[in-house]
Amino acid sequence: MFLFILISGCRQEPAGNGNQAVTAISDEPAYGDALVAGSIGEPSILIPMLAGDSASHDVAGLIFNGLVKYHTDLSVIGDLAESWDISADGLVITFHLRKGVKWFDGVEFTAEDIMFGYKTIIDEKTPTAYQEDYLQVEKAEVPDPHTFRVTYRKPFAPALTSWGSLVVLPKHLLEGRDITKTDFGRNPVGLGRYKLRNWTPGQEVILESNRDYFQGRPYIDRYIYRIIPDPATMFLELKAGGIDLMGLTPIQYTKQTDTRHFMENFRKFRYPVFAYTYLGFNLRHPFFKDKRVRQAIACAIDKKEIVDVVLFGLGKPATGPYVPDTWPYNPNVRTCGYDLGKAKELLNLAGWADRDGDGILEKDGSPFAFTILTNMGNSLRMNTATIIQRRLAKIGIKVDIRVLEWSTFINEFIDKRRFQAVILGWNIGLDPDQYDIWHSGKTKEKEFNFVGYNNPEVDELLEKGRRTFDMEERKKAYFRIQEILAEELPYIFLYVPDATPIIHVRFRGIKPSPIGISYNLERWYVPKALQRHAAMQP
């Protein structure tokens, strides 16, 4: 599931002076050493189609490859597939697979393995959450061992990238067995950059490099995934040298890693995450039915202030549901900016006025007071809510904040539509299709248009965008959607946060790109003189 981990628009922080001194010794790529990454969660199962948590997908992503992947410029390129053809009507995709790729046990990878994976994921009995994209397939065929062809009922643009690692499984090992009952999920045989060597539950997952990897043997011999549930402990481990790589919080990035020790021993990176945080309105609520009220609230919120205060500047104000500087992002949408005068004017037009002089607006006798809900454990969202509360008080709107445990929040409030406004976030894939979030047909319980947005033009554009493979056509549709969303504001798009990983300075070959840093992990290396961990026992 690369959708969830890939990241874009990299920027690299200058490393400390110590770094240059070290560079002078020798910078030759060399095999060896180990990279220790810290993780709050432990993987559960290393079969991508059965996994739900990000830790499982992170580790499984090192063990399995997909037919296609994203290039650093966000275009789709071949991975296990060398190339592919899409028929003129967009219904048939034919993948031409790379030859000579071997599973860890030496058996050759063929189109039959993809066929097996596809059949498994659409099987009734497989407990997977990802079969939806594959149910759109009308027919799958294997014309020869290195060709895989799928035919769709309707053209489906997100289809191409669905042929990632979710459906790559070794048929010769799993055929005729129930994958939920085998130990394959804890002892997988893949074909990727790393293979599982040892897994100590609750402590660590040790992966060793696949010397026969089809893109060349990775330089770093071992990738160790250390499980440390407490984020504060993890940061102390980083400081003490117990881990080499972790994601920092904004305050750790800007303040706590500002010391000489960190400048000399670590490198920090920074790039936008494919995600955004928003203030969503329940559009069925009488207050928020009126577009002018939503626009007024948008004018009263200073997004720049939220980014500066909550994220310590590590992010960008959002204007729509896409990440700035990616191809679906429309840079020219009209936003209000921070304009209190305009906010007051819009509220007046909508009939809201402070008639009794208590500082709170009224209309038809009811004061403008509402509650923002958000989930517990996310201090960024809580702080955002507090800033919005203060800003809205300035235009005479009283805001209460309620923070709820995640499951309660989703099951009792979001699913039952018992909210006035929420602060939440979406992780977005690299494909711009957001049918499930904005389409008016997706408002039933448990569906994702929970704000109840309904706009026939947007519905049509969403349909158009997912039914064509023509980039220009898609771009046009999504640009227009962003203009409409910016005008109608079912959400107020607040910010796109930055990912802020930190890594020990001895690792070289890291090339930041719009999709993050980990895409070329197999080309990272540690110069011989700087290697810290002894060679691996065979």
Partner 1 sequence: MISFLAKRLLEMIPTLLGITILSFLIIHLAPGKPTDVLTEMNPKITPEARERLEKYYGLDKPLYVQYGLWLKRIVKFDFGESFSTDRRPVIAKIWDTKQPLMDRRLFITIVINALSMLLIFLIAIPIGVFSATHQDSFADKVTTVTVFIGFAAPAFWLALLLMMLFGIQLGWLPISGLKSMDYDTLSFSGKVWDRAGHLILPVFISSFGGLAGLSRFMRGSMLEVIRQDYITAARAKGLREKEVVYRHALRNALLPIITLLGLAVPGLIGGSVIFENIFGIPGMGQLFYMSVMTRDYPLVMGILTIGAFLTLIGNLLADIGYMLADPRIRAK
Size of the site for partner 1 (CB under 8 A): 57
Q: How big is the CA angle at 443 (ends 335 and 370), to the nearest 5 degrees?
A: 55
- Extract the tokens encoding 180: 């939920």
The DSSP-derived string for 110-155 is -HHHHHHHHHHHH-TTS--S--HHHHTEEEEEEEETTEEEEEESS-
79 makes contact with partner 1 (CB under 8 A): no
Site residues for partner 1, 493-522, by CB under 8 A, read: none
124 makes contact with partner 1 (CB under 8 A): yes
User: Which range, of 146-154, 400-408, 459-467, 468-476, touches partner 1 by CB under 8 A?
Assistant: 400-408
**CA 536, chain centre distance (Å):** 33
| CB-CB contact of 334 with 484 (8 Å) | no
CB of 233 to partner 1, least distance (A): 5
Q: Which is nearer to partner 1, 27 or 237 (CB)?
A: 237
Q: Which is nearer to partner 1, 109 or 507 (CB)?
A: 507
| CB-CB contact of 273 with 5 (8 Å) | no
Name the DSSP class of 355: S
Amino acid at 442: K
- Pairwise CA distance, residues 443 & 452, whole Å: 6
Q: Which is nearer to partner 1, 233 or 366 (CB)?
A: 233
441 makes contact with partner 1 (CB under 8 A): no
538 makes contact with partner 1 (CB under 8 A): no
Q: Where are the beta strands (DSSP E) in 159-214?
A: 194-200, 204-209
Site residues for partner 1, 404-423, by CB under 8 A, read: 405-408, 410-412
| CB-CB contact of 17 with 203 (8 Å) | no
228 makes contact with partner 1 (CB under 8 A): yes
- Pairwise CA distance, residues 148 & 171, whole Å: 15
Q: Which is nearer to partner 1, 405 or 463 (CB)?
A: 405
Sign of CA dihedral 456, 459, 460, 461: positive
User: Which range, of 143-151, 229-237, 363-371, 505-513, touches partner 1 by CB under 8 A?
Assistant: 229-237
Q: Which is nearer to partner 1, 375 or 518 (CB)?
A: 375
Chosen residue from 133, 308, 362, 459 binding partner 1 by CB under 8 A:
133
CB of 203 to partner 1, least distance (A): 5
**Relative orientation angle of helices 471-488 and 456-466, to the nearest 10 degrees:** 160
Name the DSSP class of 279: E
181 makes contact with partner 1 (CB under 8 A): yes
Over the Cα atoms of the chain, what is R_g?
A: 25
Interface contacts to partner 1, rule CB under 8 A: 34, 36, 42, 44-45, 50-53, 56, 124, 127-133, 180-181, 185-186, 200-204, 224, 226-230, 232-233, 236-237, 239-240, 242, 405-408, 410-412, 426, 434, 436-437, 444, 446-448, 533-534
